[in-house]
Each structure stands twice: as structure tokens, then as C-alpha cells.
Structure 1
Amino acid sequence: MTHDLIKDGKFEYYITGKGTPIIILHGLMGGLSNFQGVIDYFPSKGYQVVVPTLPLYTTPLIKTSVGTFAKHINAFIDHMGWKEVILLGN
């Protein structure tokens, strides 16, 4: 399975559908394929499904933390101009 990722400044993500964004947060070893059911299901229900890549391999090890990734996702949400989102993680 392949998905075309959008590169937008410091952000990289997959997006499909229209409506309230559901942001899928993958785990440390997770990939888009882990969420294929969500990616396929929710756009037809009026949601936009977004899977941003987390900077796991570009963040210095000493700064690799939940807090660092939370700041990255917050900056991504601000960058996209969203006021309300649904966060989904594993």
C-alpha cells in the first residue's frame, strides 16, 4: 500500500476527504497501513482524514519525547488553520 505524502514546509502528511479533520497519530513504529480501515471509512462519513508524519528520525535523540511531538502536532494544526480537530492515536 502506498500513499502520496504532501510536503508542506517542515510538515509531511497524507490527507483525504472533506469535513472535520481526524488527525491520526501513528506510533513510534507505526505506518499508514495500520490505519487503512480508518482512512477508507471516515471520508465517506463527512470527515477529512489526515496522517502527519512525526519527526521521529530527524529529531535529536535527547529531544525525542511526547512533549516534542505534541508541539509538532500543535504547530501542524496551527499551520493548517484548523480550529477544531479530532485526534486519534494508538
Structure 2
Amino acid sequence: MIPFTDEELMNPVQVAINKIRPSLALDGGDIDFITVKNGNVYVQLKGACIGCASSGSTLKYGVERQLRMDIHPELTVVNVPVGMENDIDNL
């Protein structure tokens, strides 16, 4: 169980994602932080990351790994498809 509220996680998650952003930009990609809900971090890959065969690895071994190291080992990252930003409850 994650000992933080979703609100408490918002700022630390944003800081961790900003650490990752330059690496994604090197390959023409980017990432938007959408929200935290029930310990799940919702992000949206952008640019060259959309449709990239390595995007799953980027999320798991890049974004999720960084969040788990910086914040808490039980955090999970969920990629939000374009157009689903306002409907994350149905992901």
C-alpha cells in the first residue's frame, strides 16, 4: 500500500517526469503528466513515442522505474491514449 495520497504524489511525480523528459526529447518524443489516481500515474506519450515499438519499454523501464526509485516502489504508470485524457476511469 502506498503511504501517500494522490494529492501528495502530484508534485513529486511531476519532478520525476521532468527528469525523464530530456531523454525522450533526444529521440523526438515527449511525455505529459495527466494525473495520479489510486497510486496509478497516468501519462501520455507524445511525439515520436506515439506508436513506437519501444514505448512499452520506455514506460516500464524508463518512466515507471524512475518513479519507483524516486518516490515509492509500488507506483504504476499507465499510458493514456490520445483522446482518452478526460476518460481515464475507463482505461
Taking structure 2 as the reference length, the TM-score comes to 0.35
Structure having the higher strand fraction is: 1
Taking structure 1 as the reference length, the TM-score comes to 0.35
Structure having the higher helix fraction is: 2
